[in-house]
Amino acid sequence: MKRAGLTLSLLLVVLGQSLATTPRAPRPGGESAANGMVATVNPIATRAGVEALKAGGNAVDAAIACALTLGVVDGHNSGIGGGCFLTIRLADGRIVTLDGRETAPAAAARDMFLRNGKADSKLSQDGALAVGIPGELATLAYASTNFGRLPLRQLLEAAARVAENGFAIDSHYASRVRATRTELAAFPDARAVFLRGLPAVPAKGDILRQPDLADSYRAIAAQGTDWFYRGRFATKTATWIRTHGGVVTAADFARYAVVPREPVHGTYRGFEIVSFPPPSSGGVHVIQILNLLERFDLKAMGDSSADFVHTVAEAMKLAFADRSKWLGDPDFTKVPRGLLSKDYAAELAKNIRPDRASAVTGAGTPPFADADFFRREQSRHTTHFSTSDAEGNWVACTASLNTSFGSKVVVPGTGILLNNHMDDFSAQPGVPNYFGLVGAEANAIAAGKRPLSSMSPTIVLKDGKPILSVGAAGGPTIISQTLLAILRTLDFGKSPREALAGARLHHQWKPDELHVEAAFGDAVIAELRKRGHTVVVEKSLGAAQAVGLAPDGGFLGSADPRGEGLADGL
Ligand code: GLY
C-alpha cells in the first residue's frame, strides 16, 4: 500500500513516539507506588500529573495536568487544538466515557476532498480544510468540573509555565520536526514556533519556548473555555481558516459539545473489559478480537510463538474487515452492537485455520446487523496516558491531533496547533486514509459528524475492581497494541512493563500485510511466512502506556520501553 509515497511499513515506524530502535531491556514490574501512578510518553508531563496528585488532586486532575502539559512538550501529537477520548473509572464504581473527538464543520461536504473525482490527501492532511472542531479542551473542562478536585486554572497555569520557560525536546520530538519541516514551513506561525524556535537541525536537548501558547493557556485560565469556543480564539481561527480556503466558522466552535457516551463492555477469561465506544472503533474491536481469541488457548501456544502471532493476526484481520464496513459515528450511522457478540465471534473464529493465513474477502454480518445499534443517547501521532489514585479513581486517556503536527496550522498569535482529523473520515469509499485504512458509507463525511477513530483508552476490571488502565498511540496499531497489552497481562500474567515490552504485531486486513517487530525472532517470522502471511518486519511498533494494580495493592506503571516516557507515582 502506498500513501503519499510512504509504505505502511514506513508509516508504522514514523508514527507515534516509537522511534527508539530497540526496546530497553524490560525491568520486571515497572515503577511502583502506593498512592497513585501516572504514565505518559514524556517525563515532564508525567511529573505534572504527579504534582497534581501531590497538590491534593485525584487521578482525573492528574490526567488533565498530563494532557495540558503534553500539549506543550509533545505538541506534535496532541493538544487543545485536537481531540481526545477519556475513560474514567470513578472510585464509586461508575464508568464514564467522554467523547472529545473533533467534529466536521457545518459546511463540510461528503466530497470536499475530491478533485477531478479523486481524493486529494494533501487537502485532508495539511492546512485549512483538514481541521475538525477541536474537542480536547471542552473534555478536560467537563472532566474537571464533574470529577476533578483542583481548579482547571491551576493546572493551566502549571502547563503555561512550562510553555513560557521552555523545555528540552526529546529525540522523538526532534525527529518529528525534521521529518515535517517542509510541511511546517508552509504555515507562517508554525514556521515561527517550530522552525525558527529551534535550530535548523533540531536534536534532543534543544530548548523550545512557546510564549504564545502560554498566553493562550492563561487566557483560558482567566476567561474560561469560552475564550476558546465562543471568544477570541474561535473568531481568530475561523477568520484564518476562511481566508485560507477552509470552511470552519465561529459558530462551529460555539456548537461544539462533549458527548458523554456509554462505554463498551466485554469479558475475557473472567475479566471485565471497559473501553471506548463509537466513534472510536478501538473499544469495539479490542473486545471483538478478545472474543475471537478466547476460543484459543494462547497460553499453551506460548507468548510470541508463531502460533500466537498467527492466531492473533488472523483475529485482527477479521475485525479490521468489519471495521471497514460497519464503523462510524453512531450519531450518523448504524453501528451494530452484534459486533461484540460472543456467538458472532464463534462463527467468525471458524475462519481461523491453525496452519494457513486465510483470505478474508470482506466484512462479516454480525447478529441483528439491521436492528440493534449503538444508540445516540448512549451515551504515532497521538498519545496515551494512564493515571490512578489511592481512592480508586482510574483514568485512561488517548488524545490526538492526528498525524504529526496535525494540519500544521498554528492559529496566528496563539501558539495553538490545529488537528487534521478530517483525514480520519473516508474521503471516498475504498480509498485509504493516511493510515491505509479503508472505509465506506458509515464513515463518510457529513456536517457535524465525528470521524472514526482507533483510539482505545481501556480499563480492565476483576470482580469490579480495576487492575489495568491501558491504551496506545499509532493510528490503527492502537487497537493491536492495546489488545496485546491486555493479552500479556491476562493470559501470561505479565506486569505492565513486561506487557508493553513484549514484541508487537499488527494486521489491519487491508493491506494484507502482517507487521511484526523484529524481536519475534527469525524462526517465528520464517514460520509465519510459511503459513502464507506477507510479513513486514518493523524495528519498533507503537507507543503504549499502562498503569496496573500491584500484588501488594499499590500501583505499577510503565511508559512504553521503546520510547522516552516515564511512569512515576506517589
Ligand atoms: N487519528 C488516529 C485515530 O483517531 O485513530
Q: What is the CATH number of the domain that holds 477?
A: 1.10.246.130
Q: Are 155 and 101 in contact (CB under 8 A)?
A: no
332 inside domain: yes
Residue 282 located in a structural domain: yes
**pLDDT for the residue 70:** 98
User: Ligand 1 pocket: which residues have CB below 6 Å?
Assistant: 382, 400, 402, 424, 453-455, 475
Give the three-state DSSP class for 417: strand
Determine the atom of ligand 1 nearest the C-alpha atom of 423: 1
How far CA 91 is from CA of 148, 166, 390, in Å, comes to 12, 36, 9
Task: Decide if pLDDT at 21 tops 80.
Answer: no
At 150-199, the pLDDT tens digits run: 999 999 999 999 999 999 999 999 999 999 999 999 999 999 999 999 99
Residue 20 confidence class, pLDDT cut points 50, 70, 90: very low
Q: Ligand 1, residues 421, 434, 450, 481: which to mutate, most atoms within 8 A of Cβ? A: 421
Query: Which atom belonging to ligand 1 lies closest to the Cα atom of 281?
Result: 5
Mean of pLDDT values over 200-208 = 98
- The grid coordinates listed for 421 are 482529523
- Residue nearest (by alpha carbon) to ligand 1 atom 3: 453
CA 313 to centroid of ligand 1, rounded, Å: 20
Q: At what angle do helices 152-165 and 43-54 cross, to 10 degrees?
A: 150
- Residue 533 and residue 356: Cα distance in Å, rounded? 8
Q: What's the grid cell of residue 540?
A: 519498533
Name the residue of 101, 276, 424, 425 whose CB sits within 8 Å of the most ligand 1 atoms, as the mutation to test its pocket.
Answer: 424
Angle formed by the axes of helices 152-165 and 59-73, nearest 10°: 30
Edge-to-edge strand ranges of the sheet holding 566-569: 259-261, 95-100, 83-89, 394-400, 383-389, 36-40, 566-569
> What is the CA(429)–ligand 1 centre distance, in A?
18
For residue 511, whether the previous peptide bond is cis, meaning omega lies within 30 degrees of 0, is: yes
For the CA of 476, the closest atom of ligand 1 is 5
Which residue in this structure is represented by grid cell 492532511?
125
* Amino acid of residue 498: E
pLDDT band at 380 (very low <50, low <70, confident <90, very high): low
Which of 53-67, 232-246, 335-349, 363-377 bottoms out in mean pLDDT, i.e. has the lowest?
Answer: 363-377
Is residue 287 in some structural domain? Answer: yes
Q: How far apart (Å, rounded) are the C-alpha atoms in residues 268 and 271?
A: 5
The residue type at 193:
V
**Which range, of 25-29, 49-53, 417-421, 486-490, averages the lowest pLDDT?**
25-29
- 5 or 148, higher pLDDT: 148
Ligand 1 pocket test, pick from 99, 320, 323, 435 with the greatest ligand atom count within 8 Å of Cβ, gives 435
Q: What is the spatial order of strands in the sheet that 264-268 belongs to?
A: 31-33, 555-558, 543-549, 465-473, 458-462, 271-275, 264-268
95 assigned to some structural domain: no
Ligand 1 centroid to Cα of residue 475, in Å, is 5
Whether 208 has a pLDDT exceeding 80, the answer reads yes
Q: Is the pLDDT at 7 greater than 60, yes or no? A: no
28 pLDDT above the threshold of 80: no
Distance from residue 56's CA to the centre of ligand 1 (Å): 33
Which residue CA neighbors atom 1 of ligand 1 most closely?
402
Range of the domain at 274: 261-378+458-564
Separation of 456 CA from ligand 1 center, angstroms? 10
Q: Is 386 helix (H, G, I), strand (E, B) or coil?
A: strand
Considering 139, 382, 414, 477, which one is annotated as catalytic?
382
Q: How would residue 92 be classed by pLDDT, with cut points 50, 70 and 90?
A: very high
Classify residue 16: in a domain, yes or no. no
Q: Whose CA is nearest to atom 2 of ligand 1?
A: 475
Distance (angstroms) between ligand 1 centre and the Cα of 378 equals: 21
C-alpha 286/C-alpha 468 separation (Å) is: 14
Rounded Cα distance, 540 and 313, in Å: 17
- Burial tier of 242 (Cβ tally within 10 Å: 0-12, 13-18, 19+): middle
Distance 274 CA to ligand 1 centre (A): 19
Is 49 part of a structural domain of the chain? no
Is residue 129 included in any domain, yes or no?
no
Here the cell at position 409 is 496550522
Q: What is the mean pLDDT of residues 257-275?
A: 97
Average pLDDT over residues 231-252: 98
382 is catalytic: yes
The tens digit of pLDDT for each residue in 318-333 reads 999 999 999 999 999 9
Q: Is residue 302 part of a domain?
A: yes
Using the predicted structure, report yes or no on whether residue 568 has a pLDDT greater than 70: yes
% of residues, the chain, pLDDT over 70 = 94
Residue 370's pLDDT is what? 86
Total domains in the chain come to: 1
pLDDT digits (tens, 9 = 90+) for 106-140: 999 999 999 999 999 999 999 999 999 999 999 99
The residue to mutate among 323, 403, 478, 506, having the most atoms of ligand 1 within 8 angstroms of its beta carbon, is: 478
